[in-house]
Amino acid sequence: MIQHKILVTGGAGFIGFHVCRRLLEDGWEVVSLDSLTDYYDVGLKEARLAILKERDRFHFHKLDLADAPALRKMFAEEAINAEVPIIHLAAQPGVRYSQVNPGSYIQSNLVGFFNLLEAARTAATPHLIYASSSSVYGGNRKLPYSEHDPVDHPVSLYAATKRSNELLAHVYAHTYGLPATGLRFFTVYGPWGRPDMSYFIFTHAILNHEPIQVFNHGDMSRDFTYIDDIVEGVCRLINLPPQPADSNAEHINSPATSWNPHRIYNIGNHKSVPVLDFLKVIEDAVGRKAQVELKPMQTGDVKATFADVKDLFSAVGFKPQTTIEEGIPKFVKWYRDYYRG
């Protein structure tokens, strides 16, 4: 069945590609944009796009969200109006890179997001779903991370821009009634993934007999979340725009909820896996041992992440559940096929 039109930003990116492909399979007409930056291999982004462009119902625009006039023109040309939800996945990612090129985070994650909010406000968008990050928890030490905990101590510029997105979206929900849902993604991995992520770096290094750097001397853990679980959570929320809440409701003053039409959810595998255990699964999938170099903690990094996903399950009846023993072999198979390794 043909669904309504939907706009997905960042369609050439890792998560954006998978979301677009799922939406096309579900019968949506998908309009997507991406600036195709060279932060990592543009060829990989173009290969993702080539798959999406095989579908007649996929419309792509090479466009930088920081270019407000171009964005407004695209909205007009594609008739992005009050019947078209938006899934915003375009961003400058990466905690460590934000120390090297901070200006790109301001342009992409702040200026670009502001321009999208303005365009969505003008179009009377029925629901804006936007990507946040587990990085917003920053210096928090209480695990698992709950959306209802304060997030006032980011430890990277990337995290600060993502928390700023949440605050901006709340203001637009309050001032203009723009329904918005923020999703805090936890270490997403899987086929067609990002080359700057640990699982990609580890796999490449093992296959090429190169050493691997593991930080904080290996004493780190992450809530690794398989891409299909992320996509399922995103898609289940499309037709569930947040509603204004009773001002006396529980948690109404928490960072996750509001009397305005704005909500925040964690999407993670609700399990914190030691990075060395994660590496062992990659070694088993590749069939070769890694050469490990233990290094000190890097600035802007955190020791552990762990998602509380009770609110997501309550909202959509779903929570991520793919184990790394299931997900990593799928990534390694894709990697070998794509790079003929």
The residues, any chain, with a CB within 8 Å of residue 282's CB and separated by 6 or more, are: 199, 202, 203, 206, 290, 328, 332
In a domain, 288, yes or no: no
**Average pLDDT of the segment spanning 217-238:** 96
Active site residues: 158
List, for residues 39-76, the tens digit of each pLDDT value. 999 999 999 999 999 999 999 999 999 999 999 999 99
The residues, any chain, with a CB within 8 Å of residue 220's CB and separated by 6 or more, are: 214, 274, 275, 301, 303, 304
In a domain, 235, yes or no: yes
Q: Is the pLDDT score of 300 beyond 80? A: no
In a domain, 253, yes or no: yes
* Dist. CA 199–CA 189, nearest whole Å: 7
Counted domains in the chain: 1
Q: Which position has the higher pLDDT, 302 or 170?
A: 170
pLDDT at 1: 42
DSSP reduced 3-state for 33: strand
The CA-atom distances, in angstroms, between 24 and each of 30, 132, 178, 298 are 7, 23, 25, 40
The CA-atom distances, in angstroms, between 98 and each of 103, 193, 331 are 8, 19, 26
Are 29 and 2 in contact, with CB atoms under 8 Å apart?
yes
pLDDT class for 258, splitting at 50, 70, 90? confident
Q: Which position has the higher pLDDT, 181 or 216?
A: 181
Q: Could you give the percent of the chain with pLDDT greater than 70?
A: 96
pLDDT class for 218, splitting at 50, 70, 90? confident
Q: Is the pLDDT score of 143 beyond 80? A: yes
Q: Is the pLDDT score of 214 beyond 80? A: yes
**Average pLDDT of the segment spanning 83-87:** 98
Q: Which residues pair with 263 in a beta bridge?
A: 181
In a domain, 204, yes or no: no
List, for residues 4-42, the tens digit of each pLDDT value. 999 999 999 999 999 999 999 999 999 999 999 999 999
Tokens for 229, please give them. Answer: 């679980």
List, for residues 307-332, the tens digit of each pLDDT value. 999 999 999 999 999 999 999 999 99
Average pLDDT, the chain: 94
Query: How many CB atoms sit inside 10 A of residue 142's CB?
Result: 11
* Dist. CA 237–CA 292, nearest whole Å: 40
DSSP reduced 3-state for 7: strand
pLDDT at 252: 65
The CA-atom distances, in angstroms, between 302 and each of 124, 159, 309 are 38, 11, 20
pLDDT at 216: 86
Q: Output the CA angle 241-242-246, nearest 5 degrees.
A: 155
Place of tokens 């309550």: 314
pLDDT at 6: 98
Q: Is the pLDDT score of 341 beyond 70? A: no
pLDDT at 3: 62
pLDDT at 249: 60
pLDDT at 250: 63
User: 159 lies in which domain range?
Assistant: 5-186+226-268+306-321
List, for residues 302-311, the tens digit of each pLDDT value. 899 999 999 9
pLDDT at 256: 83
In a domain, 336, yes or no: no
Residue from 79, 17, 75 nearest 48 by CA: 17
Helix, strand, coil % in the chain, rounded to nearest 5:
40, 15, 40
Q: Which position has the higher pLDDT, 94 or 117?
A: 117
In a domain, 289, yes or no: no
The DSSP code sequence of 63-103 is --TT-HHHHHHHHHHTT--TT--EEE------TTHHHH-HH
CATH classification at residue 51: 3.40.50.720
